[in-house]
Structure 1
């Protein structure tokens, strides 16, 4: 087990996941395909739709019933009578194949749904049309044109549906990509490049500045500020020295290290996160789709109606009428409109969403979003920018803010450290004239030194003050309590001021939290940061509940805890460490500026890093669900009305629904459904518009 490579472990998960998804999807409206095949299915349904559309034109045009319905004469030539039957067989056998195989899966899974309902109708239409064409059944039972239209419309619906369901790359691929392509193993003083999978426990590996750690290890030489944000979510770099452990995938930002491997392959923390993602993805319940539920009810309704129709007409001593009415009922019961009702709404909703910067990957997540009661935000990179920023400057007596910031920026101008970038960025934002510097040097854990206009300028933390035997500025204690980094600026050994550097809260976050409160949703924050940092951010934003100091592997447990309290939870995050929690949540929302892993584990992706986009998702979920329900009522309502009429309920008063009128009603219901779905295009899903609407509604 210990010597499994990362790749083996990844493949096992991939196979397990594919197997699981294949089983889950089996009886579920798609002919039993797994998620990994969505790209293939889009192409398959698109190709089949266009071929069947071409074949269906002559089937419909040469159908005697359609000709009589529209009012034109067919040529007398004998061969014209065989165009519809011959091509109709092609439509049924080739175009109907995905539905027939899907129906078999639904029967095996004992979950009758859309596929079985479609298959029942096209099979009955096919057999009765064939019987009528061969002279075995009444000529009224020739439904070739109806069969062709049904198959074409259903293929169109499924093509639209497959396109909206097409998935992005696997989260597990992205997790594996965090590891470096090769590791530098130290052998007898020589550095040898090897694949991370070839490392064994006890190997000593060189990690260069800016390089990623290839396996879980212990530092044996050197010290570095480690960027662990992709695994822990902690925004600040963490100092790791001899004897400390480092995790695979983390990056040494400022200096090199030698580390001794303590775990490889399956045993690493990264592999543990991979397992959590795989488990959460495979165990997440796939709520049955709305249209499938409606189709299941309609299947039993149609079957029951057909049996009752057959029995009643038989008892009335009219076997011919019994066959005609029963078959008419079964064909009319097939939901043209139902096949388009949901896919059209989903397709338009996802397209509208994409224009508003919301990418919907899993339509079940979109359906669930309207019922979410708690929105759980990861702090770093979601509510905050995820990178340090200068949030306050405290000048010493006789100095001003601009002078302190300009001197600090001059000293830091040659450094690539995240704190240096924060300082130079702050000076740039204030359009300060930053003097040039020479003689730059940096000392890990102490700070930087440079010569600026003939004076020695030093910027650093508490160790720098210790060297000069100086005290921190008065406000430093409060800044520390809030979890900020405090940097002092010294000129020729004298303090001129201090900088407060912290992970900056996004200006949009307060509006997002207020708008969610206006909607009656509770807002929860989770972070790997210490409690003082978390409490400071929560107090500023008005957040209801805070989980601080949470390790990455425990984030999904917090989501599960909230779910056990009986809440539906949406989790919003952006890091690798968020992937298991995104998969565990009822709705996982990845901030698009985050990692590929988070994006792959989520059902919804926000292209911008604006937390107000969460409101766009809720609004879209509500609007699309309302449209789906309206469309289902239209589609199913037509069936509930037409089936009894086709069965002959009004026969005693002399009215029996002609097949042709039923077909016209069916087409009308499809048009109504399509037009209703188009109304979704009016929705303005820009984050500021969505948040603004909810805040205005709350005020009024």
Structure 2
């Protein structure tokens, strides 16, 4: 809308400038003359005033019901200049302000167009949340399976969840065993084993086994629906942030009205009414500089361009203004400080070397789709371990896998399987198991029919850039906090590895926002996350930052998105935010500072000394401030973020 208004008004402004006497004097040309040519300016100005200015009148009307600001100031300036100029065209002595009126509307429309272009559309977080849940469930009716809409499910219904399917509703496992990926919902990085009696949550992904589940919660009572409600509440409760230009415009409007009225009252008895009106109108017109409409948008456009080059997507322009005060950065763990995928940390062996153990385990796990098994396969490939072939492969749901490798039967699975198989475990392996579990690592056991041969300790791998990010934030005086749904041992291990002194473990989805709320009471807080469970916390924080590889709901709930999935970009974003805010302040000073001199001169304070600010000179001041504001905004690109 602003784009269309701007270009149409700009086209109508060109003839006004061409026929403007001041422009003819400045640029030394003679405009063509014909009957009625003197009315081209007034007629086009009328069209621009009502067509281009209407949006500002609507905005001013809304401001009058809350707090006056930029829209009120613009509306006042264009209305006074329009009415006065029309009166001059109809016979009142004075100089019309048609070209000032037209260009002021053009510049303000341009500024709003730039501003709107820098802001992303309304958040679609709730839509992405809704898409996570399948629309159809497999309900068990006796020995028959029927597909029905999840809205038709009721408590105590039994449903079938096949391997690889998303769980459509909250429930309790009635039959079967499987591993379930709940990382997006709970922040738990490892697949969670589900057996009879365990709870499953809507939106999680089933692993290798089939599950029969009894429905326990439907509709608004499901965990996912509760998270959706938290997101919606956070969106609705966020107060509207007043941009700095509006605050400046508020005071400038009061000054303009006050000084303009005072000017008229003082000069009316001292001079004639025409002089008094001229002085008052000049004050009102000069007080609304063109540059004020561009002061903030131009900085934001340059800042967003810089951010994009550094892998930071800006979804909310207010992020720059809030970044300057940040003192606490709260990180989600899984997928943010860690890579969100497992890697082999330690191998404990008995009777064979690490390479041989990896080769046998990888041969079996190659045929499995379990994420922990795939981590072993990746580690074997990375270390160049020779590939072995496995036959007679079998998957035992909830326990592990077995198969023949070099004519020997091997078992790979959970440590709990050791006792069930009745195989012997050496003392050094028992000690290794205890040490790995104390660190919160997941353990996979390799066994033959009589002994435990090896234990593989796996953990979510810490991002190397996360260490650098924490260090840079500490140097900048910003405290780092970790919030995770993982167990205490896992959280402690990752925190120690990164040098984070403060962390929260086993945090439920609905509690993350509460922790962020409490941190905000200590100091302005950033939250950095990537999961669905992070969305309420992202919205609750003073500044929400989403990892780009995260879920759409997290991205849509954030103010900034790290496209490259690099935690170092958090430090860069805060640095850019502070530099951007500084440029905003500088631009506002340049855009309004000349009023300290211009307003008194326009009011006629130096009239007795022979100094009287002509509207044309005031227009030059406005043009100069616009140029300065534009150049100053461009200098933001010199800031080095790396």
Counterpart of 1:682?
A: 638
* 1:194 aligned residue (121, 145, 148): 148
2:419 matched to 1:461?
no
2:77 matched to 1:108?
no
Q: CA deviation at 1:491?
A: 4.2
Aligned counterparts of 1:68 and 1:192: Cα–Cα separation in 2? 85
Query: For 1:80-95, what aligned pairs fall within 5 Å after superposition?
Result: 80-95=37-52
Counterpart of 2:215?
A: 261
Counterpart of 2:565?
A: 609
Q: Which segments of 5 or more consecutive residues in structure 2 lack a partner in the other structure?
A: none
Q: CA deviation at 1:139?
A: 3.7
Query: For 1:537-616, what aligned pairs fall within 5 Å after superposition?
Result: 537-564=494-521, 566-616=522-572
Cα deviations by residue, 1:263-290 (Å, 9 ceiling, x for unpaired): 1111111111111111111112222111
2:259 matched to 1:305?
yes
Aligned counterparts of 2:638 and 2:228: Cα–Cα separation in 1? 41
Counterpart of 1:160?
A: 114
Aligned counterparts of 1:60 and 1:642: Cα–Cα separation in 2? 23
2:578 matched to 1:630?
no
Does the CA contact (< 8 Å) of 1:66 and 1:145 recur in 2? no
Does the CA contact (< 8 Å) of 1:133 and 1:139 recur in 2? no
Does the CA contact (< 8 Å) of 2:424 and 2:450 recur in 1? no
SS state of the match for residue 462, structure 1?
A: coil
Counterpart of 2:401?
A: 448
SS state of the match for residue 442, structure 1?
A: strand
SS state of the match for residue 73, structure 1?
A: coil
Aligned counterparts of 1:347 and 1:396: Cα–Cα separation in 2? 62
How large is the RMSD of aligned CA atoms in angstroms? 1.4
Does the CA contact (< 8 Å) of 1:69 and 1:660 recur in 2? no
Counterpart of 1:485?
A: 442
Instruction: Tell which deviates more after alignment, 572-581 or 555-564.
Output: 555-564
SS state of the match for residue 345, structure 1?
A: helix
Aligned counterparts of 2:373 and 2:480: Cα–Cα separation in 1? 33
Aligned counterparts of 2:537 and 2:89: Cα–Cα separation in 1? 59
* 2:370 aligned residue (414, 417, 428): 417
Counterpart of 2:29?
A: 72
Aligned counterparts of 1:360 and 1:175: Cα–Cα separation in 2? 21
Does the CA contact (< 8 Å) of 1:356 and 1:684 recur in 2? no
Counterpart of 2:315?
A: 361
TM-score by length of 2: 0.97
Aligned counterparts of 2:34 and 2:320: Cα–Cα separation in 1? 55
Instruction: Tell which deviates more after alignment, 512-521 or 308-317.
Output: 308-317
Counterpart of 1:321?
A: 275
Q: CA deviation at 1:335?
A: 2.4
Counterpart of 1:241?
A: 195
Q: CA deviation at 1:496?
A: 3.0
Aligned counterparts of 2:196 and 2:107: Cα–Cα separation in 1? 68
Q: CA deviation at 1:168?
A: 5.5
2:75 matched to 1:119?
yes
Aligned counterparts of 2:461 and 2:132: Cα–Cα separation in 1? 26
Aligned counterparts of 1:71 and 1:99: Cα–Cα separation in 2? 35
Q: CA deviation at 1:582?
A: 0.7
Aligned counterparts of 2:2 and 2:198: Cα–Cα separation in 1? 55
Counterpart of 2:7?
A: 50
SS state of the match for residue 529, structure 1?
A: coil
2:131 matched to 1:174?
no
* 1:184 aligned residue (97, 113, 138): 138
Q: Alignment length, in residue pairs? A: 638
Q: Which segments of 5 or more consecutive residues in structure 1 lack a partner in the other structure?
A: 1-43, 690-700
Counterpart of 2:462?
A: 505
Q: CA deviation at 1:684?
A: 4.1
Aligned counterparts of 1:200 and 1:464: Cα–Cα separation in 2? 36
Aligned counterparts of 1:337 and 1:634: Cα–Cα separation in 2? 8
Cα deviations by residue, 1:31-81 (Å, 9 ceiling, x for unpaired): xxxxxxxxxxxxx11111111111111111112233234332233323211
Aligned counterparts of 1:119 and 1:373: Cα–Cα separation in 2? 39
Q: CA deviation at 1:617?
A: 0.8
Does the CA contact (< 8 Å) of 1:366 and 1:604 recur in 2? no
Q: CA deviation at 1:601?
A: 1.0
Counterpart of 1:650?
A: 606
Aligned counterparts of 2:220 and 2:417: Cα–Cα separation in 1? 42
Cα deviations by residue, 1:231-276 (Å, 9 ceiling, x for unpaired): 1010111122222221111111111111121111111111111111
SS state of the match for residue 125, structure 1?
A: helix
* 1:400 aligned residue (330, 350, 353): 353
